[in-house]
Amino acid sequence: MSKKLSYAALVGIVPAILEFLLVYSFEPTASGWLLLQVSLYWFTCGVANYLVDLRLPQILGSILFTVFLTSPWYIAESVMQGKPEHFVPLVVASIAMGLVIGLLCKWLKRKEAGHVA
């Protein structure tokens, strides 16, 4: 596997694990399917963030891209469920996860380019 794909996978694994732990800690009775779904989503989001170049500063681009990718989820989990009070926390959580992804992307892309030991 190329270094780029290895780093992209790492950027995906970190948010997937974080979200799995978050969901499981707040909802220990969550189904395995739900845990799989959130883990796969955040893994894919991290990988996509690493591989896509938006021509923006890395952290800002990762936050915007993450919020964009997550926006259908906001609608499904808040508005369509009749829980509009969940909308803002979902956006804030996505911004936080986008920040984590952006920091990882920035560090690993510098490392990939040979600028970090």
44: nearest Cα among 21, 16, 24, 73:
16
Q: Are 45 and 70 in contact (CB under 8 A)?
A: yes
19: nearest Cα among 111, 107, 115, 98:
98
pLDDT tens profile 22-65: 999 989 999 999 999 999 999 999 999 999 999 999 999 999 99
Q: Are 40 and 16 in contact (CB under 8 A)?
A: yes
pLDDT tops 70 at residue 117: no
pLDDT tens profile 65-116: 999 999 998 888 888 888 889 899 999 999 999 999 999 999 999 998 887 6
